[in-house]
């Protein structure tokens, strides 16, 4: 397989997926920051986008298949941006997060309280374990996902223009 400009959108998507997931796992396993439920949900679109980028690079010989794989990968990344924006809003207390993740529901009975305590995750979604310049990891994930999707679209449009 030779590399040319047609592979740039897939390479961008793959590199950003590897970099973003690598960063998330580094924060978890090296930095000791355990992910909450919404953090874990934000990883799935990057896995999907990375797989579709590999498909576009290796298996897709036709421009239509490559374009479809990259388009689906871009949609996956943008869906992940939506989850990240939602999570950022939960962290900022702009809106309530899932009750299993934030503990925002008040149980009516002692038995319901006990069940909620035992079912609660160790890491809350509305806590910010790390931030830089006031932006949490969820915020950076949203920015990276939006920029990556836009970059792939720009590169695909450039590829489609007649030379």
12: pLDDT strictly greater than 60: yes
Kindly state the tokens that stand for 45. 């679109």
Sign of CA dihedral 131, 13, 152, 83: negative
Which of 43-57, 60-74, 134-148 comes out lowest in average pLDDT? 60-74
pLDDT band at 157 (very low <50, low <70, confident <90, very high): confident
- Would residue 133 count as lying in a domain? yes
Select the more confidently predicted residue: 114 or 83.
Answer: 83
Q: Which of 163, 147, 145 is nearest to 5 (CA)?
A: 163
Q: What is the pLDDT of residue 162?
A: 65
Mean pLDDT calculated for residue range 134-140: 92
**DSSP label of 115:** H
**How many domains are there within the chain?**
1
What would you measure as the largest C-alpha separation in the chain, in angstroms?
A: 70
* Structural contact between residues 5 and 159, judged by C-beta atoms closer than 8 angstroms: yes
Q: What is the pLDDT of residue 119?
A: 67
Q: What is the CATH number of the domain that holds 37?
A: 1.20.1550.10
- Would residue 56 count as lying in a domain? yes
- Would residue 73 count as lying in a domain? yes
1: pLDDT strictly greater than 50: no
* Structural contact between residues 42 and 81, judged by C-beta atoms closer than 8 angstroms: no
- Would residue 40 count as lying in a domain? yes
* Structural contact between residues 45 and 94, judged by C-beta atoms closer than 8 angstroms: no
Cβ burial of 72 (10 Å; 0-12, 13-18, 19+) is: middle
- Would residue 79 count as lying in a domain? yes
- Would residue 163 count as lying in a domain? no
Helix (H), strand (E) at residue 135: strand 135-136
Q: What is the pLDDT of residue 67?
A: 86
- Would residue 35 count as lying in a domain? yes
pLDDT in tens, 58-70: 876 778 888 889 9
pLDDT in tens, 60-103: 677 888 888 999 999 999 999 999 999 999 999 899 888 767 65
Enumerate residues 6+ apart whose C-beta is below 8 A from 32: none
Q: What is the pTM of this model?
A: 0.81
**DSSP label of 6:** G
Q: Which residues pair with 132 in a beta bridge?
A: 135
Find the domain containing 124 and state its range: 5-158
- Would residue 66 count as lying in a domain? yes
């Amino acid at each position: 397989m030779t590399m040319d400009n047609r592979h740039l959108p897939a390479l961008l998507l793959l590199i950003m997926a590897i970099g973003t997931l690598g960063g998330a796992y580094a924060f978890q396993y090296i930095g000791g920051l355990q992910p909450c439920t919404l953090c874990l949900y934000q990883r799935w679109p990057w896995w999907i986008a990375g797989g579709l980028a590999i498909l576009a690079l290796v298996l897709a010989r036709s421009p239509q298949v490559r374009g479809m794989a990259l388009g689906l990968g871009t949609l996956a990344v943008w869906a992940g941006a939506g989850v990240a924006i939602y999570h950022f809003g939960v962290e900022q207390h702009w809106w309530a997060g899932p009750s299993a993740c934030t503990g925002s529901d008040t149980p009516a009975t002692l038995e319901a309280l006990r069940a909620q305590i035992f079912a609660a995750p160790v890491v809350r979604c509305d806590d910010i374990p790390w931030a830089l310049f006031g932006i949490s990891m969820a915020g950076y994930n949203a920015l990276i996902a939006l920029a990556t999707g836009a970059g792939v679209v720009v590169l695909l449009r450039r590829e489609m223009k007649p030379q």
